[in-house]
Every structure is written in structure tokens, then in C-alpha cells.
Amino acid sequence: MGRLRWFTAGESHGPALVGILEGIPAGLRLVPEDVDRELSRRQRGHGRGGRMEIERDRAEFLAGVRWGKTTGAPIAIRIANQDWANWRGIMEPFGSPPSDYRPPTVPRPGHADLPGALKYRHTDLRDVIERSSARETAARVALGAVAKRFLRECGVGIASHVISIHTVRTEIDLLSLGLSPDEINARADCSPVRCLDPEAEREMVSRIDAAARAGDTVGGVFEVVAMGVPPGLGSYVQWDRRLDGRLAWALISIPGVKGVEVGAGFGAASRYGSEVHDEIFWEEGKGFHRLTNRAGGIEGGITNGEPVVIRAAMKPIPTLRKPLRSVDLLTKEPASAHRERSDVCAVPAAAVVGEAMVALVLAEALLEKFGGDTMEEVKRALSSRGPT
């Protein structure tokens, strides 16, 4: 089928996170650094909390790779939680809770706490907090790193950068810079907020610091771009095969993300059609191409050969040092929301998670179109596409 399937398991303060990725062809060369590099990128960013001082995420391959190559079997990756040592008594799979354990019972507005407790009938919010935590995205990034390695072998590169934090915004047009995905990420990773605009970067850092002093949090918008994506990925024949819908679903599944747009996105709604749609040209040796890319590389749910450009808006993190008003789950009495160690801003990290999610979706779509149980077969199918 060429279809990828992937799952994650684990709790924020449990022994480890585990990810399983099925469908990567045999023969893909991998080294641990391919994954560890992405895990390290996810942990950076101005405004991160104390947890990042504890964890030093590293990937342990448990299955699916032998002597540096994928075997075609499911790939299993384990990421140990260093903080588990401090939480063993509370997070043990079996036994009884410590005698002094006091479960959190006051849900945080904007978090999964209350709806999760109502859905699963939990009276201890810890059972919700641990799995709904954004710590889970470390496993996504690990699996996404494998997908990125596969895409790189197929000529596709993925990068990201931060467009805005709170009301501070950069107007840089990423594609106009003429940079490769590796160059984009190299520059963005040198910034404490992964912003390519030095002036905006300074203002973003200042805004995060101001929020921290006020006991508050801030969100923002990040952009992911994929270059070298062949035309024809996705389809218009069914709603769930449209690639823009699949990408939007993947990005909005990231904790805290509340909005997604492709290309011109919401801005297109306030323009005339003549200002939005990308005119089509053809040139010998270049084939069909556009001079603009307001469609974000996708038309009718299908890639058109231009770079795929997608943005995601992340809300402020709901854990505040100055808690909002809430209600105790058990007593139903008014109370201040539960406080959990947290970040002030996680937009730069979310951008790296966004790269992973885009990579997983594009890898799946590419395998659907070109198939192949081995990397040799996939590359042969790609090379036989012919001119456009």
C-alpha cells in the first residue's frame, strides 16, 4: 500500500516515550544523530521551562533498523524521561500511591484537564495531565526525523521559522530569500526564537520576558515549508485524500495549535481572485511553473510542484504562574487553577514539531503515489516520472 502508520505511547513523567513507525521502505540509511539532532532542536527556544534543564533527549532504536539500514519492519524508538527518577512513586504502573500524595483536582482553563476528566471519569487530574502533555511531541519529532531522512533521499527538504510571537511579527517572505531548507533551519536555529528577522527577534525575546515577569504566557505563529515536493501528491477524489486537509489535521493535532492556513490562507479571503491565484507558465527544461505561490504549493488537494507552505497559530500555554479562576473537580468549590511546571512560550519548539508532522504526512503521500518496499524501488519510480 505504501501507507505509513505511526503511534506514540508514554506519559510526561513516566519511564519513557515510545514511537512506532510502520511503512518506511527497506534500505534507508539511518544514524542515531538523524533523530537526536531533531530532538535537540525541539528542546531549544527562549521561554522554555525548567523541564528542558532536566531532559537530554536521545533516541534508542528498539526495532526496524539493522546495521544502519531500515529493514522494512516497524521502527520502534524509545526516549527515556530523565525526570522519571523524581516521579517514580507517583507514576509507578503498579502498587499504591505514596501516603503523602495529593492528586491535582483543579483543572486549568484551556487545558485538557476538565474535558479529559469528564470523558474518562478521572478524579485525579494527573491521569489526564501526563498523556495530554506536550512532552509527547518528543516521540513525534523522533518519528518525524525518520520521515525527514526518507524525504531527503527523495529530494524533499523541510524547514520552519517563527513568524510572530504575541503581537510582534516579521514580514519576511521566506521563499524570496533563495535559501535551501538546510540553510533556513541553520539560520533559524541560531535564533533564540527561531526568527530570521533580527529586529523582530529582539522584540519577541523582550515580549516573552515581559510575559514571564507578569506570570503570563504568549503564543504565536510558525511557518513550515517543504521544497522539492513532486506534483501529484494527494487527490481531489475524496475529502480525506486532500493533502491540504491532511496537513491541517496533522498540524492542529499539535498541543496548543488552534489554527492552520495554507499559502495565502486567511489573507486570501479579503482579496480579489486576480490577486490570489497563481498564473501558470511553461518553459522548456523547467516545465509548468508559477511566478507566485499564494496557493502554498497545493491546488485541489494536490501538490502542484511549487514549495508547500503552511502556517500554524499556537495559543498561549494554559499553565500560568498567576493561575486563572477554576472549580475543584471534587468539591465543586471555586479555586485557583492547578499549577504545573511549564514554559512561558513554546512557539519555537512547536515549529520543529510542525516540521515532523509535515514530514510524516508528505512521506505517507509520496509512498502512496510512488509505492515501493525498498528505497531502490521508490527512487526508480521517482526517476521515471518524466517531464512536466
310 neighbors 229 (Cβ within 8 angstroms): no
pLDDT of residue 52: 58
Interstrand relation of 75-80 and 16-22 (parallel, antiparallel or unpaired): antiparallel
pLDDT digits (tens, 9 = 90+) for 70-97: 999 999 999 999 999 999 999 999 999 9
Residue 91 lies in a domain: yes
DSSP helix/strand/coil, 75: strand
More confident residue, 47 or 37: 37
Return the C-alpha torsion angle 340, 145, 353, 183, nearest 10. Answer: 130
**Contacts for 217 with CB less than 8 Å, ≥ 6 apart:** 211, 316, 317, 318, 319, 320, 342, 343, 344, 345
pLDDT of residue 51: 56
pLDDT digits (tens, 9 = 90+) for 143-159: 999 999 999 999 999 99
CATH number of the domain where residue 271 is located: 3.60.150.10
pLDDT digits (tens, 9 = 90+) for 183-235: 999 999 999 999 999 999 999 999 999 999 999 999 999 999 999 999 999 99
pLDDT of residue 29: 97
Residue 66 lies in a domain: yes
How many CB atoms lie under 10 A from the CB of residue 380?
A: 12
Residue 388 lies in a domain: no
pLDDT of residue 386: 64
Residue 238 lies in a domain: yes
State yes or no: pLDDT of 1 exceeds 50: no
Residue 303 lies in a domain: yes
pLDDT digits (tens, 9 = 90+) for 354-380: 999 999 999 999 999 998 999 999 999
Q: Average pLDDT of 57-69?
A: 97
pLDDT range class, residue 2, cuts 50, 70, 90 = very low
State yes or no: pLDDT of 387 exceeds 70: no
State yes or no: pLDDT of 328 exceeds 80: yes
The count of structural domains within the chain is 1
DSSP helix/strand/coil, 82: coil
Residue 184 lies in a domain: yes
**Contacts for 96 with CB less than 8 Å, ≥ 6 apart:** none
Residue 202 lies in a domain: yes
Domain ranges, residue 176: 5-383
Here the cell at position 190 is 541560531
pTM over 0.85: yes
Residue 173 lies in a domain: yes
Q: Average pLDDT of 303-307?
A: 97
